[in-house]
Amino acid sequence: MSQPVVVDSVAALRAQIRDWRRDGLRVAMVPTMGALHDGHISLVRIALQKAERCVVSIFVNPTQFAPSEDLDKYPRQLARDLDQLGAAKADLAFTPTVGEMYPAGFATKISVGGPSAGLESDFRPTFFDGVATVVAKLLLQATPDCAVFGEKDYQQ
Ligand code: PAF
The amino acid sitting at 131 is V
Residue pLDDT, tens place only, 51-90:
999 999 999 999 999 888 899 999 999 999 999 999 999 9
Residue 152, pLDDT score: 81
134 lines ligand 1 (CB under 6 A): yes
Beta bridge partners of residue 27, listed in sequence order? 53
* Residue 52 CA to ligand 1 centre (angstroms): 23
Residue pLDDT, tens place only, 7-25:
999 999 999 999 999 999 9
Angle between helices 78-87 and 38-50 (to 10 degrees): 40
Compute φ and ψ for 49, nearest 5 degrees: -80, -25
* pTM for this model (two decimals): 0.96
Q: What percent of the chain has pLDDT over 90?
A: 83
- Atom 9 (ligand 1) nearest CA: 131
32 lines ligand 1 (CB under 6 A): yes
Residue 125, pLDDT score: 84
Residue 115, pLDDT score: 86
Handedness of CA 156, 91, 28, 40 (dihedral sign): negative
Q: What residues have CB less than 8 Å from 40, skipping those under 6 apart?
A: 30, 32, 56, 84, 150
31 lines ligand 1 (CB under 6 A): yes
> Which of 40, 29, 139, 28 minimizes the C-alpha distance to 81?
40
> Which of 45, 58, 49, 52 minimizes the C-alpha distance to 21?
52
Which CATH number does the domain 5-153 belong to among 3.40.50.620, 3.30.70.360, 3.30.530.20, 3.40.30.10?
Answer: 3.40.50.620
CA atoms within 13 A on the CB side of 132: 15
* Residue 152 CA to ligand 1 centre (angstroms): 9
- CA dist list (Å): 44 to 11, 34, 55, 91, 141: 23, 13, 9, 10, 19
Q: What is the 3-state secondary structure (H, E, C) of 88-125?
A: CCCCEEECCCHHHHCCCCCCCCCCCCHHHCCCHHHHCC
* Residue 129 CA to ligand 1 centre (angstroms): 12
Residues carrying an active site annotation: 40
Q: What residues have CB less than 8 Å from 83, skipping those under 6 apart?
A: 1, 3
